[in-house]
Amino acid sequence: METAAGHAASAIHNVELVRELREEATVRARQALHDDVTDLPNSRGLAETLQRPLFSGSRLAVLTIRIDSLREVNETLGRAMGDELLQQAASRLSPLTEAGWCAKTATDEFTIVVRGGYDEAQGMAEQVIQAFDAPVQCADVALAITAGIGIVLAPDHGRETEILLRRASLAASRSRVEGTKVTTWAADRDPYDPQRLAIAADLRDAIPAGELQVHFQPQVDIESGLVTGAEALVRWRHPRLGELRPDQFIAAAEYTGAIDALTEHVLSVAAHTCAGWREQGWDLDVSVNLSARNLANVTFADMVESILDETGLDPAALTLELTESSIMTEAEGAMNTLAAIHDLGVSLSIDDFGTGYSSLAHLRKLPVSEIKIDKSFVFDLTTSHSDEAIVRSMVDLGHHLGLTVVVEGVETVEVRRRLAEMGADRIQGYLLSRPMPVTAFEQWIADRPVRMAELSTSEAETSAADRIADRER
């Protein structure tokens, strides 16, 4: 009897234990597929939901919404407030699509999936922007939600949730960097793209193998017509893929870190070539493009200095070009490097001027001596009133700040004439010449008026006279 009761009791106990274990397993399973804060599916949960439609080849648009304001809220108002912000964002987003198709895919990211292609994606992006229009009320504070949206399309951009999410997230980051609200993923801008990765791997050997070349595109003083210098532009003769343009490999070089070696190579060739020109009496300058990553490298200015030493190039003949965005993004370390470069006597130019968001106040603080107005404003200069007005005001602005104004992308005589009227200082573009290898550049220049080192003969005489005087002393 006792044993029977004992058995019964332990049987009941076992049943309870099993039930408890089952419940715990269900909770765990749910946790594994859900986000704690918002109770939405997480990326694994979303992957399960999407498995079947993706497998069957359904057209889906995946939108990743990066909440840019989260970090600030966490840092200034605390984590609890950040969580509240996310919960409220979740409750605005999840009604926009089918149940289970809105997920929280990273700390500061939501992902919404809709059926359809590009148009449906754009429509959903509009709805998301509207949903975040009004601020959310957390405790007593009204918080604005700012977000960048990245879009990928299945099956065009991928057939696996993991790849789709990674690409949508990358596109969302681009939105933030570029200040656009919505960005669609594009293979040619993705540093993780397989083709890019292959290129990135090859790039490491390209420099020692001598596959990187430097072409030169002339710059001319618009008033006198004298050639004043050239921009050095890198080219890659890839053994399998043929000649690659920088747009096809610079991003990969930045991503892998090969950009330091690349910049050093271009700089060294450019400085060496320019020093040679100057020895011939041509008073030419050379400009070299930098990447944001170069500025983050603490030894960068030392590298520039040693190249100047090796080649004997006058630092005043060298200009380093940086885009506005690269100066802005790496803000802290970048400022030190810029100052160190400036101290060497090397000039700095802001490339693609007008395409970034640098404020005038910020520009004034930089040791910059030149702006290069971006070619996108220049192509339609003579037909578009707004482009004409923009370029005119950039020329005035540059001069107002005491900067030299260079205009790139000059393709026609009319554009050159208009720029001359506006008072731009120097031009560069296909009207003069495309970028060319150094030998072609030197032939090109042979038939043209070149700025000459005016005092070279008398300087030579003086130094000869000095030497004689020194000997006689």
Instruction: Check the CA dihedral 264-268-271-274 and report its sign.
Output: negative
Q: Which stretch binds ligand C2E (CB under 6 A): 57-65, 240-248, 338-346, 387-395?
A: 240-248
Return the number of other C-beta atoms located less than 10 Å from residue 8's C-beta: 10
Site size for ligand C2E, by CB under 6 A?
A: 23
Q: At what angle do helices 43-55 and 161-178 cross, to 10 degrees?
A: 120
**136-138/141-143 β-pairing:** antiparallel
Asked if 91 and 187 touch (Cβ cutoff 8 Å), the reply is no
* Buried/exposed code over 30-68 (b: 16+ C-beta within 10 A; e: otherwise): eeebbbebbebbbbebbbebbeeebeeeeebbbbbbbbe
Q: How far is the CB of 418 from Ca ion (least distance, A)?
A: 19
Q: Which does 245 bind (CB under 5 to 8 A by kind): Ca ion, ligand C2E, none?
A: ligand C2E
Contact between 332 and ligand C2E per CB under 6 A: no
- d(Cα 56, Cα 175) in Å, to the nearest integer? 31
The residue type at 265: H
Q: How far is the CB of 244 from ligand C2E (least distance, A)?
A: 10
**Of 351, 403, 428, 441, the one binding Ca ion by CB under 5 A:** 351
Contact between 382 and ligand C2E per CB under 6 A: no
- The interface mask with ligand C2E, positions 265-304, x = CB under 6 A, is -x----------------------xxx-------------
Q: Which does 270 bind (CB under 5 to 8 A by kind): ligand C2E, Ca ion, none?
A: none
DSSP secondary-structure letter at 293?
H
- The interface mask with ligand C2E, positions 125-164, x = CB under 6 A, is ----------------------------------------
Q: How far is the CB of 284 from ligand C2E (least distance, A)?
A: 18
Nearer to ligand C2E, 246 or 423 (CB): 246
Binders in 416-435 for ligand C2E, by CB under 6 A:
428-430, 435
Q: Which stretch binds Ca ion (CB under 5 A): 129-137, 164-172, 287-295, 331-339?
A: 287-295
- Which residues make Cβ contacts (< 8 Å) with residue 59, sequence separation at least 6? 115, 116, 117, 153, 154, 155
- Residue 319 β-bridge partners: 287, 347
**Of 109, 324, 352, 425, the one binding Ca ion by CB under 5 A:** 352
Q: Which does 246 bind (CB under 5 to 8 A by kind): Ca ion, ligand C2E, none?
A: ligand C2E
- d(Cα 39, Cα 131) in Å, to the nearest integer? 19
Q: Which does 158 bind (CB under 5 to 8 A by kind): ligand C2E, Ca ion, none?
A: none
Contact between 289 and Ca ion per CB under 5 A: yes
Contact between 49 and Ca ion per CB under 5 A: no
Asked if 140 and 95 touch (Cβ cutoff 8 Å), the reply is no
Asked if 346 and 315 touch (Cβ cutoff 8 Å), the reply is yes
Q: Which residue has the tokens 């019964």?
A: 8
Q: How far is the CB of 368 from ligand C2E (least distance, A)?
A: 15
**347-353/370-373 β-pairing:** parallel
**Of 22, 245, 364, 448, the one binding ligand C2E by CB under 6 A:** 245
Contact between 408 and ligand C2E per CB under 6 A: yes
353-359 own/partner pairs: CB under 8 Å, 24+ apart: 353/324, 353/394, 353/398, 354/390, 354/394, 355/323, 355/324, 356/323, 356/324, 356/325, 356/328, 357/179, 357/324, 357/325, 357/328, 358/324, 358/327, 358/328
Contact between 84 and ligand C2E per CB under 6 A: no
Q: How far is the CB of 351 from ligand C2E (least distance, A)?
A: 5
Contact between 285 and Ca ion per CB under 5 A: no
Binders in 189-228 for ligand C2E, by CB under 6 A:
217
Contact between 324 and Ca ion per CB under 5 A: no
Q: Which residue has the tokens 């700089």?
A: 267
Q: Which residue has the tokens 């793209």?
A: 193
Residues of this chain that interact with ligand C2E (CB under 6 A) are 217, 233-234, 245-247, 250, 263, 266, 289-291, 351-352, 375, 408-411, 428-430, 435
Residues of this chain that interact with Ca ion (CB under 5 A) are 289, 321, 351-352
